[in-house]
């Protein structure tokens, strides 16, 4: 494994580069999927459209917390949360179906 910033060869279990100090993602991105979180709507972990589950997965928080915060935004002060939910539903892509 090599550092993507400076090109130094690293051990497989390295988390940071010893020369430049940048964080190392590992081989997670080279196996086909991206190593960074992708904002998309999951197909199976959803209640209505998967928007809250997608945001929870992207930010790494509990989906219940995101749903409660979104509910508060829908009710208070204006229905900004409802408009944002509808826009996110339209804009966010769905997860690809696993073969």
The predicted-structure confidence for 15-36, as pLDDT tens digits, reads as follows 777 777 777 765 444 445 555 6
Q: Distances in Å between the alpha carbon of 91 and those of 14, 29, 40, 44?
A: 37, 24, 9, 18
The predicted-structure confidence for 27-81, as pLDDT tens digits, reads as follows 444 445 555 678 899 888 788 999 999 999 899 899 999 999 999 988 887 888 8
| Domain segments of the chain as ranges | 1-36, 37-99
Q: Is 40 helix (H, G, I), strand (E, B) or coil?
A: coil
**H-helix or E-strand spanning residue 67:** helix 63-75
Give the integer Cα–Cα distance in Å for 44 and 68.
20
For 85-96, what is the mean pLDDT?
Answer: 91
DSSP 93: P
- Token output for 82: 């409802």
- pLDDT score for 27: 46
- pLDDT score for 51: 93
- pLDDT score for 47: 87
């Amino acid at each position: 494994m090599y550092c993507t910033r400076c090109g130094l060869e690293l051990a497989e279990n390295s988390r940071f580069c010893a020369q430049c100090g940048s964080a190392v993602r590992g081989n997670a991105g080279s196996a086909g999927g991206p190593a960074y979180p992708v904002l998309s709507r999951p197909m199976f972990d959803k209640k209505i459209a998967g928007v809250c589950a997608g945001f929870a997965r992207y930010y790494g928080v509990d989906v219940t917390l995101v749903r409660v915060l979104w509910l508060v935004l829908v009710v208070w002060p204006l229905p900004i949360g409802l408009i944002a939910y509808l826009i996110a539903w339209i804009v966010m892509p769905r997860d690809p179906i696993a073969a």
